[in-house]
């Protein structure tokens, strides 16, 4: 264990029996290397830990419900941390927002919770949406917030194919080679493809996801929408349990962590 990890573990253990706070967060992921603290560069977790220290004078570990990748956004990320003093939720919310400026991060709410609450391990379901702009013109206002696919996509074919991979499966095909999950088996509860003019939303939920699973599934569904794959091809790729059988991995721009259930 390196010194940085060891220090963070000691901080986490030192926070036992302190008031625990749960925060609801939204952020634009574009300027960050992702949620998790990185040796070099901005991370959302790192900026939160700095903000908590400036507010409380304590160095703490801020634990999130999901380790979103670089460029991925959040409308409803959840995190928790422990500090020694008790404060009402509005004080914690406003203080963190003050110290997080000018980063594109906002604490929507804060509340004190039971000491056994864990933003990560108490979660029962995570909900994501992936946004596609299916239009020919370049993006002006939505650049960095959706994936522009200029070729017409068959939304109905994508919707039919998405249903084929619902349920409990080995999702190795849609798993990053860097994924650290102990098992590739996950239960996919929802994968809906919703078209509204030029806007396509792919809505998905599960208790947990593998690293890059959502973006890998979205990219493969775009293959279906493009006519490169059929629904049978998508299911065959899943059954192959082979990362090389995955379609293109969708860019992070269009992915949002929408909600976490407890």
Check whether domain 125-261 has CATH 3.30.70.660, yes or no: yes
pLDDT(258) > 80: yes
Which DSSP letter does residue 118 get? Answer: -
173-192 confidence digits (pLDDT tens): 999 988 989 999 999 999 99
Long-range contacts of 235-241 (CB under 8 A, 24+ apart): 235/161, 235/164, 235/165, 237/173, 238/164, 238/165, 238/169, 238/171, 238/173, 238/174, 240/173, 241/170, 241/172, 241/173, 241/184
Whether 196 is catalytic: no
Contact 137, 146 (CB under 8 A): no
Find out whether the peptide bond into 102 is cis, omega within 30 degrees of 0: yes
Check whether domain 3-113 has CATH 3.30.70.580, yes or no: yes
Q: What CA–CA distance (Å, rounded) separates 58 from 68?
A: 25
Q: What CA–CA distance (Å, rounded) separates 249 from 251?
A: 6
| Residue of 17, 28, 40, 69 marked active site | 69
Helix axes of 231-240 and 213-226: crossing angle, nearest 10 degrees: 150
pLDDT(243) > 80: yes
128-171 confidence digits (pLDDT tens): 999 999 999 999 999 999 999 999 999 999 999 999 999 999 99
pLDDT(63) > 90: yes
What residue ranges do the domains of the chain occupy? 3-113, 125-261
pLDDT(34) > 70: yes
Confidence of residue 48 (pLDDT cuts 50, 70, 90): very high
Amino acid 16: pLDDT: 57
68-82 confidence digits (pLDDT tens): 999 999 999 999 999
pLDDT(33) > 60: yes
Q: Which residue has the tokens 């959840």?
A: 78
Give yes or no on whether 3-113 and 125-261 have one common fold: yes
């Amino acid at each position: 264990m390196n010194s940085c990890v060891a220090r963070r573990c000691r901080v986490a253990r030192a926070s036992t029996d302190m008031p625990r706070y749960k925060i609801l967060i939204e952020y634009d992921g574009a300027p960050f290397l992702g949620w998790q603290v990185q040796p070099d560069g901005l991370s959302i977790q790192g900026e939160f830990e700095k903000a908590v220290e400036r507010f409380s004078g304590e160095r703490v570990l801020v634990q999130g419900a999901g380790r979103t990748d670089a460029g991925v956004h959040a409308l409803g990320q959840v995190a928790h941390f422990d500090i020694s003093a008790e404060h009402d939720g509005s004080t914690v919310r406003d203080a963190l927002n003050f110290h997080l400026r000018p980063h594109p991060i906002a604490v929507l709410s804060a509340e004190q919770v039971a000491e056994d609450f864990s933003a990560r391990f108490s979660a029962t379901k995570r909900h994501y949406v992936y946004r596609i702009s299916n239009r020919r013109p370049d993006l002006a206002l939505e650049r960095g917030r959706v994936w522009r696919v200029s070729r017409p996509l068959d939304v109905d074919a994508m919707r039919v194919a998405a249903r084929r991979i619902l349920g409990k499966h080995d999702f190795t095909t849609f798993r990053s080679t860097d994924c650290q999950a102990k098992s590739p088996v996950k239960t996919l509860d929802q994968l809906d493809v919703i078209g509204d003019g030029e806007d396509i939303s792919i809505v998905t939920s599960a208790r947990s996801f593998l690293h890059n699973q959502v973006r890998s599934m979205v990219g493969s569904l775009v293959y279906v929408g493009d006519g490169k794959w059929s629904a049978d091809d998508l299911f065959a790729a899943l059954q192959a349990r082979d990362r090389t059988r995955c379609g293109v991995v969708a860019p992070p721009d269009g992915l949002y962590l929408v909600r976490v259930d407890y």
